[in-house]
Each structure stands twice: as C-alpha cells, then as structure tokens.
Amino acid sequence: MYKYASIFVVIALAFAIPTHAAAEGNRSVLFQVGGGLYAPTYPSALEQDLSTIAAQPGVDRVKLSLNAALGVALSERSFLMGRIDGMGDRLADAYDYLQLNLYLYSLGLRYYPATTGFYLEGGAGATKGVLQSSLYGQTASPNGFGFGAAAGYDFNAAPRGFGLTLEAKSVAYPGAVFTGEVVSVDSRVDPSTRSVIVRALVPNDDGLLKPGMFLNVHLSRGTADVLVVPEESLVPEQGDVFVYVVQDGKASKRKIQTGQRTVGTVQVTDGLQAGEIVVTEGTQKLRDGASVSVTEPTAAPRRSVAAGEGDGPAR
C-alpha cells in the first residue's frame, strides 16, 4: 500500500449551522457538512494503474468526497476549525470493484476577510489511505502528513462569531468610557419584552464598576458604508416600498429595496443614488408627477457608517 501525499481540488456544497452558547465565557461554534466531486493527484505509478483499469470496457470510475467540520470562534471573523475530509475513488464493473479511500484529519483556521460571507481556510494534519477490493479485501497505509486549503462563501448573514466590542458609560463617571467584549448571546428571546440577554466582559482593574450599577451601553455589530433615508419618507403599498424623489420640481414615485433599520432611518439597497432628494412630509396625499417645493431640511439620502448599531441601558 502506498504512503504518499495528495493534493485535492474539491467542488463541494456545504451547510453551515452557527449556534450561540448561553453559558458565560463560551463562544459561538460552527458546524458544517458537505460533499462533492474532487480531482486527486496520485504518484505516477498509482495513477497509471488506476487509469489502465478505468480504460477497460464496462468499467466506470467515480470520485466523490464528504467532509465534516467543527469550528470555535476566535474572534468576529476567525474560527479554529477541526475537519475530517474523506475522498473515495471507485472503479467498478458489473462483477468487481476497486476503491481507494483517502482521509485527512486536520486542524486549521477559517477567516472571513469581509462581511460578504467569503472566507478562506487552511489546515494540516494526519492522512490515511484505505484500499478496498472485492477480490483482495481491505488494506490500509501507514499514517502520513497532509494539508489542505479552501475558499468558500457563507450564505448565512448572521454574525459569524464573537469578538464584538462594546462601550459603556456611567453618570457616576462623566467622560469615562469602559470597553469590553461580548462573550455570549442567549439563545432565547423574552416573549414579554422581546429582548435577549447579551453577556460581556469589561475589565475593571480600578474597581470603579460596582455590582448593581446602571450603564449606558453602545454595541456595534459592525460598520458599513450604506445609503439611508428617513423612515418617514417610505410609502408602503401592497408589499412593496416606494419613495417620492424630487426631480425638476416634481415628485417621481420610485420603488426601492430596503435593508437594515435603525432608529429613524432605513437602509436602501436598490433604487436610489446618493444625493437624490426624497419627500419626507405629505407623502400620503402626494401623487406621481405632482409639483413640489423643497424646504429645509432637504432630506437627501446620505451615506452612513453606523449600520447595525444600538444603544441602551444595561445593568
């Protein structure tokens, strides 16, 4: 049985299921399973043997892969990943089969360089090869060393791990800002208050923070350069959202796509350009093409770098 290193090109469909632990000090975890096609590179002698068998009449060759991974968040964008990748190269006809199974048990790092969901992953660990045959049974190779790299896209828009920072202020210490890090998010929402418990660790080396103190907490889920309009400018109709844009002194009704909401503002993902003027008062009586006059404030769409922020009291 060969002892060798292989390079794998894998095309796989994977499902990531992020969960958030409720216990203080725990971080989020990421579980992923997937599978697909792969293209292995073998030593020339082995590849020649397999290709010769595959060229025989009636012999089919199938290459498939399966993988499972478990990750623990190190920060908002990085996970420590433990993976098991299994690849099977099977040659078979109506009577016999020959199958080479390759396994990689690796430990590595996954990193999300941006908020789009794209990620990079790399790892290294132990490899093993198992040869199965209908004629000769099963043989296994000695353990070897292997490594792998991957690039993928995560379609889950939820936060991918902790490491989110917060700022806290107290009326007892004017001008003082206490910074900390989120360590857990409760998995249940209070049905009466529609709130969720978020736990954070805030250094208190000076002993200024006392049990029972009230703090005003500012928590940001991340920043982005987005287009926003005042909430009162929206005109909902039959499941769609419109705004009236001022063009040449007339109101032009335009359909838009909205995104995240903050207090008093709504993100616009499609349908508007920065600098365009929208109507904020009298929209219920306004009609498309009606003459309008602009008064202060102009309520022009603007760029915001504070998407996903929140303020509130905490105890």
**Ordered domains of the chain (ranges, CATH):** 8-153 (no CATH), 165-221 (no CATH), 226-305 (2.40.420.20)
Per the rule left: phi > 0, alpha: psi between -120 and 50, beta: everything else, 205 is: alpha
Instruction: Note the pLDDT tens digit of each residue in 73-130.
Output: 887 778 899 999 888 888 999 888 989 898 999 999 999 887 567 889 999 999 998 9
Q: Is the pTM of this model over 0.75?
A: no
Alpha-carbon radius of gyration of the chain? 29
Instruction: Note the pLDDT tens digit of each residue in 126-162.
Output: 999 898 888 888 888 888 888 888 888 877 655 566 6
For range 256-263, the mean pLDDT: 87
Percent of the chain at pLDDT above 70?
A: 77
Instruction: Note the pLDDT tens digit of each residue in 178-198.
Output: 988 776 777 788 889 888 888
For range 222-236, the mean pLDDT: 85
User: Residue 272 belongs to what H/E stretch?
Assistant: none
Residue with tokens 């991957």: 150
- pLDDT higher than 90, residue 268: yes
